[in-house]
């Protein structure tokens, strides 16, 4: 009759028979278990580690997972792949998978943490040991006289006090206030020329292809997050659109189109509302990519999200449809209305538009030349 095992009894018997119970000491054949009449124990361990069946593992991997009480294969927190390369002599799993990028990233984190937690006394002792270890190579490479000079110079630099972040910022601010630049124009030109030659070469691009791709991806994600968190708004002159600049009460407003500027001035004159421009950001997805839709205007008084554009440009492709659907959903969830201001609105409110532009000219001395949109041209 086969014995029915539980985890506690299985661990106990393995520890007694196998000493320290190191994974891998029980061979994969049935001989070890047959000699001790423990075939039911082997079957129990296999059933407890059935989550490993899909990767067809060595038996010692099952033993290690059983000892550690795992219910799933450990996952690398850098690439989310399964870790199937344990350290058997230590009876534990590695921190990452076997990919070089993941190992390198983990080492960087470990080293940074080590340096952060290292006491000043330990740091000085390590620097001294490194200096003693390298002293022989210094003499071999530079000779005794120059070696002594270099060691003395390095020693003096290591004793110098490091600047705090506040002192660094103060130094940078002082340099900028004095009109100083980090490099002369001649040096800048040399650096620029060198970068063009190096970075434009096929060998360099191939060598650092992955680095560039990861850098662009990280930069894109960072900018999207800043836009979404209202920490950054793309500047007007970054886009191939009209740049309309008006000044009201010594405050400068930049609009991306004439329609937006005229609508803002008209509503301000008609209702006294000071509409918020490009402050609401709505995340949406298009072609499996996360994007951010910046709404033109936002009104707290009328609880409205306002998009100013001609009818022909309201939903003329899948991308526009995706972002406008996201805006409608956001408005519904937050108790707002999502409305379009098109050529029909300007036609219906044309007298108010003319009066508002005239009063704006009288008060500020700025003239906005705006012709009434032709409805026939925009349908």
Phi then psi for residue 252, to 5 deg, are: -90, 135
Query: For residues 23 and 64, is the Cβ–Cβ distance under 8 A?
Result: yes
Q: Quote the percentage of the chain above a pLDDT of 70.
A: 86
* Rounded mean pLDDT, 132-139: 66
Q: How far apart are CA 340 and CA 346, in angstroms?
A: 12
pLDDT for 337 equals 92
If pLDDT is split at 50, 70 and 90, which confidence band does 263 have?
very high
* Rounded mean pLDDT, 358-372: 87
The overall average pLDDT reported for the chain is 81
pLDDT for 306 equals 92
Give the tokens for residue 135: 């002293």
* Rounded mean pLDDT, 292-314: 87
Q: Is residue 36 scored above 80 in pLDDT?
A: no
The residue behind tokens 């409608």 is 328
Residue 356 burial class via C-beta count within 10 angstroms: exposed 0-12, middle 13-18, buried 19 and up: buried
Q: What is the DSSP letter of 75?
A: B
Q: Is residue 43 scored above 80 in pLDDT?
A: yes
Computed on alpha carbons and rounded to an integer, the radius of gyration of the chain in Å comes to: 35
Per residue in 62-101, pLDDT tens? 888 888 888 888 888 888 888 887 877 777 888 888 888 8
Q: Is residue 305 scored above 90 in pLDDT?
A: yes
Residue 331: CB atoms within 10 A of its CB come to 19
Per residue in 143-165, pLDDT tens? 778 777 877 777 666 555 667 77
Residue 53 burial class via C-beta count within 10 angstroms: exposed 0-12, middle 13-18, buried 19 and up: exposed
Q: Is residue 379 scored above 50 in pLDDT?
A: no
pLDDT for 192 equals 86
Q: DSSP for 50-117, please give it.
A: GGGGGG---HHHHHHHHHHT-SS--B-TTT--B----BGGGTB--SS-S-HHHHHHHHHHHHHHHHHH
Q: Is residue 296 scored above 50 in pLDDT?
A: yes
What superfamily would CATH give domain 236-378? Answer: VSR Endonuclease (3.40.960.10)
Per residue in 206-251, pLDDT tens? 878 888 888 888 888 888 888 888 777 776 544 455 578 888 888 8
Per residue in 1-35, pLDDT tens? 567 888 888 888 877 776 556 655 665 556 777 77
CA distances from 167 to 16, 161, 172, 174, 277 (A): 63, 12, 9, 10, 38
3-state secondary structure of 291: strand
Q: DSSP for 169-192, please give it.
A: HHHHHHHHHTT--SS-HHHHHHHH
* Domain residue extents for the chain: 7-73, 104-155, 182-229, 236-378
């Amino acid at each position: 009759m086969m014995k029915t095992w539980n985890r506690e009894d299985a661990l106990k018997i393995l520890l007694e028979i196998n000493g320290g119970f190191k994974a891998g000491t029980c061979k994969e054949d049935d001989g070890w278990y047959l000699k001790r009449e423990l075939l039911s124990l082997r079957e129990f361990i296999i059933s407890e580690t059935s989550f490993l069946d899909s990767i067809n593992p060595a038996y010692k991997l099952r033993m290690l997972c059983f000892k550690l009480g795992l219910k799933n294969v450990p996952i690398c927190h850098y690439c989310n792949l399964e870790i199937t390369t344990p350290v058997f002599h230590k009876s534990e799993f590695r921190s990452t998978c076997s990919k070089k990028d993941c190992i390198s990233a983990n080492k960087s984190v470990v080293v940074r943490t080590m340096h952060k937690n290292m006491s000043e006394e330990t740091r000085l002792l390590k620097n001294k040991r490194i200096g003693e270890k390298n002293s022989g190579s210094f003499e071999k490479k530079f000779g005794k006289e120059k070696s002594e000079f270099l060691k003395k110079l390095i020693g003096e630099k290591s004793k110098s006090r490091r600047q705090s972040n506040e002192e660094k910022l103060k130094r940078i601010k002082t340099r900028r206030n004095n009109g100083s630049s980090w490099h002369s124009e001649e040096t800048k030109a040399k650096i620029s020329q060198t970068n063009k030659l190096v970075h434009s070469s096929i060998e360099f691009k191939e060598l650092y292809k992955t680095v560039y791709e990861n850098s662009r991806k990280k930069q894109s994600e960072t900018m999207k997050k800043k836009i979404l968190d209202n920490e950054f708004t793309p500047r007007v002159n970054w886009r191939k659109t009209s740049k309309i600049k008006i000044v009201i009460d010594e405050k400068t407003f930049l609009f991306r189109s004439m329609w937006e500027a005229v609508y803002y001035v008209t509503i301000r004159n008609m209702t006294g509302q000071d509409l918020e421009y490009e402050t609401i950001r709505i995340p949406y997805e298009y072609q499996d990519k996360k994007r951010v839709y910046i709404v033109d205007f936002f009104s707290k008084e009328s609880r409205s999200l306002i998009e100013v554009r001609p009818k022909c440009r309201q939903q003329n492709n899948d991308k526009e449809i995706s972002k406008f659907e996201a805006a409608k959903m956001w408005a519904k969830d937050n108790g707002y209305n999502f409305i379009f201001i098109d050529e029909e609105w300007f036609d219906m409110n044309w007298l108010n538009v003319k009066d508002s532009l005239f009063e704006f000219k009288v008060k500020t001395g700025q003239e906005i030349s705006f012709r009434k949109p032709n409805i026939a041209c925009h349908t």
